[in-house]
Amino acid sequence: MRVIRGQDFKASPWKNGGGITYEIARSDGAENFGWRLSVADVKTSGPFSLFPHHHRILVVIEGSGMHLVGATKTYNAAPALPVHFSGQEQITGQLVNGACRDFNVIFDPLRFEANVQLATHKNFDTHCTGFYVLEGQINCEGQIAQRGDFVFIGEHAAKIDTGIDFKCLAVAIKPL
């Protein structure tokens, strides 16, 4: 088990220069990665960076959300609702009532399958790759993870104690 503190996420500019991404982790390579986890602050409406040959899962974690407008479809990125779309689709984000923060999983669908779901102390399952803490805190084998931290769970069952105010995004990434 490994806790990555929010303040330790690696800041880098968006590919299109429109903002900053805070990378949590990636599987390999700068451009040809298998998967990448990140958090981004979206301060203005505008185009999304393209990630050819990848799929994306975006979850708004702060703010009112945004509409993701594509050529043929508009996705409603409401708070805590995972939205799946192609990384090569030209998307323009239109903010709803101001800035927001989102959690992202970008992955190569030929090499991995990925899923994100909202979990609380009632339905939290440790059989996932890891989780991003949204509310409360969690004791992970003696390490305390708090809001904004990401916890990778190893291949073996972990001893995890959640409080009743705990809420997270459980992330599952599996090789094909």
Of 31, 13, 7, the residue nearest 106 (C-alpha)? 31
If one counts every other C-beta atom within 10 angstroms of the C-beta of residue 10, the result is: 12
pTM of the model: 0.93
d(C-alpha 71, C-alpha 148), whole Å: 33
**Structure confidence at residue 10 (pLDDT):** 95
**Structure confidence at residue 123 (pLDDT):** 79
Domains, the chain: 9-108 (2.60.120.10), 113-175 (no CATH)
Pairing of strands 83-86, 137-140: unpaired
Of 154, 127, 171, 158, the residue nearest 38 (C-alpha)? 171
**Structure confidence at residue 157 (pLDDT):** 60
d(C-alpha 174, C-alpha 112), whole Å: 5
**Residues sharing a CB contact under 8 Å with residue 117, sequence separation 6 or more, in sequence order:** 82, 169, 170
If one counts every other C-beta atom within 10 angstroms of the C-beta of residue 33, the result is: 17
Alpha-carbon distances, residue 128 vs 1, 41, 90 (angstroms): 12, 25, 30
Chunk the chain into consecutive blocks of 10 residues (it has 176) and report each block's average pLDDT, rounded to whole numbers: 94 84 88 91 93 96 97 95 96 95 97 94 80 91 91 74 87 95
CB 106 within 8 A of CB 87: yes
